[in-house]
A and B are shown apart, each in its own frame.
Chain A
């Protein structure tokens, strides 16, 4: 009889303190729900309590946002998410742009049971909402990428522990997001986060961090400024504390639209803000530093590299398949990435089928990826900020089998990083804040570009869609961004061009007047066709835009109007 083996991946595991903390929180929330239902507390009183536990109320129902710390989870955890989708939701979930998962059809009376189930596998929904430090996000290829300096996840976990229910930072002026990259090639969008951390190595090979502050999207998009080129790793938590204290003390609380740290940095000026942080950092006692270093060492031990085999980098069978099968070749080109260890490859499962809902995952797909992780990737899965899943450690020789099995689940669309790999918020179909739908626009555009060969001919192109100015769909940093707005009860869509969340981050610029819902896909096609007409040899969309500016695209879209 075949026995399915569930490997235990190298990732952080709860200790007794963590377990007691999460269990106590679930019990507390169960009591809060009971008091809400028996009328002891009103909805106004209950709302902040449920939000602190990730429970929103959206357009149609309660929505539960579950934290996937820095996007890493085990197959066991993914299987539990699938069980929750089936038992408590409607058979699916939605990967978010902050590497979490949302369930759209949750019932209040069942929420504590869900949290209990999550706690069984060391998961929770704490701090996935509210004016606190949210899930720290990072490169989905962390610990595997050929181009990274080191795995940033131990530092992510250190920050998670530091920021969880931090008494000083639980009631900030506004929500607060931290992103970290261990690679010079930024796949974590660190320059558009409240704090971004970029790992550095100095001449002695010591690890430190570039600290960026004040990036963000929303209604006032900004690229973060560097406040420290180099911060020794031992100083990380004291320095983050200093930043948070300056923000907590002087950040605006009179206007929620001006309460993010980016506004403070902008209003103070980057130099003055950095000086205030440096003063706070210099004045604060440093006795915790050594403890933090020991704690980081303890945490790092959980993230030891998996038991990679010594394998040849060149696998003839794969090379032959590449030559013989265009579909496999396209998939390899788009959906895989170079691993740091010879003989291994990073594999992305695309949750962006042509005409599909970006980031939606059925319970069957979750279980299939969990099973693939068990069989081919040390039982570990990553959520990407582009709403896909990653198997970080696949033996190159296993790629054909993995590809075949992903195809069976509709997860092998060869479009990662291409125009079909659309980031989209839930928009007006689900979200109470949205002003226009975003998913149908994504579906229509991905159908227009369903021809994978065409997508590959177009080349790297990030198209992001938000259904309102809050920009959860990251439209400001899409090479092509689309923002849906309500104009007298009709959906209208503005196009921005030239955004990027990579190491050379930029905020997209509005191209001109918006388009109706029936026009927007045509407009995007016109933009892409224009790019194809004016690009130089080997030039990617963003490079062409940066070389030529908006003029040729405006001319193509608006010349006749």
Chain B
């Protein structure tokens, strides 16, 4: 069998908090945080789907809604979604840095320039 670990993409589980609507990420200890840097990074889609299945219990418990997997990269040292939509969702909006997750220490260029 081929060892596919080398090519495995990395994922985090994301959802939205039911009460606030905020974007949240699932942590290694199965809680939810607003900052993506607190997210559990999951190697390969398979382990991602396992974690997603567990996260969906929190959907049924009305803690979060709309859980799904987001592909991320750690090339810059930080956890960053690969796709711009997910980067903006995690860190944006890019046009109101004072209101966004970027205000928590991220830079706007991190959101856009990857």
Where the two chains meet, the residues of A that have a C-beta atom closer than 8 Å to any C-beta of B are: 36-39, 43, 57, 59-62, 90, 105-109, 357, 428-430, 435, 437, 439-440, 443, 486, 489-491
Contact = CB atoms under 8 A, between A and B. Distances in A.
Given A440-B94, A489-B84, A491-B84, A59 B89 contact: yes
Contacts of A443: 95
B95 A490 contact: no
Which among B62, B83, B93, B94 has the greatest number of chain A C-beta atoms within 10 A? B93
Contacts of A37: 18-19, 62
Contacts of A43: 18, 59, 65-66
A467 to B, nearest CB: 11
A429 B97 CA distance: 11
A490 B112 CA distance: 9
Given A37-B62, A429-B93, A57 B20 contact: no
A202 to B, nearest CB: 50
B44 interface: no
B82 interface: yes
B92 interface: yes
Interface in B60-110: 61-62, 65-66, 82-85, 88-89, 92-96, 99-100
Given A57-B21, A108-B18, A439-B95, A39 B62 contact: yes
A428 B62 contact: no
Given A37-B62, A428-B85, A489-B84, A62 B94 contact: no
Contact of A61 (B21, B66, B94): B21
Nearest to A60: B23
Query: 7 smallest A-B Cβ distances: which pairs?
Result: A429-B93, A62-B21, A61-B21, A43-B65, A439-B95, A39-B62, A429-B95
Contacts of B83: 489
Nearest to A437: B94
A175 to B, nearest CB: 22
Contact of B95 (A57, A440, A491): A440
Nearest to A491: B84
A410 to B, nearest CB: 16
Given A57-B66, A60-B92, 9 more contacts: A36-B18, A43-B59, A59-B93, A107-B19, A428-B84, A429-B94, A429-B95, A430-B93, A486-B84
B22 interface: yes
A90 B99 contact: yes
Contact of B19 (A57, A108, A430, A486): A108
Contacts of B92: 59-60, 429
B99 A39 contact: no
Contact of B20 (A61, A90, A490): A61
7 contacts: A37-B18, A43-B18, A60-B93, A105-B99, A357-B95, A440-B94, A489-B84
Nearest to B62: A39
Given A428-B84, A489-B82, A61 B22 contact: yes
Nearest to B93: A429
Contact of A428 (B19, B61, B66, B88): B88
Contacts of A38: 62
Contacts of A357: 95-96
B16 interface: yes
A260 to B, nearest CB: 26
Nearest to A61: B21
A414 B93 CA distance: 28
Contacts of B16: 57
A430 B99 CA distance: 12
A523 B22 CA distance: 36
A104 to B, nearest CB: 8
A107 B65 contact: no
Interface string B17-60: 01111110000000000000000000000000000000000010
B89 to A, nearest CB: 5
Contacts of A57: 16, 21, 65-66
Nearest to B88: A428
Contacts of B62: 36-39
A439 B100 CA distance: 15
Contact of B22 (A60, A109, A439, A489): A60
Nearest to A41: B62
Nearest to A37: B62
A357 B22 CA distance: 22
A90 B61 CA distance: 28
Contacts of B88: 59, 428-429, 437
Contacts of B19: 37, 107-109
A68 B83 CA distance: 36
A49 B66 CA distance: 17
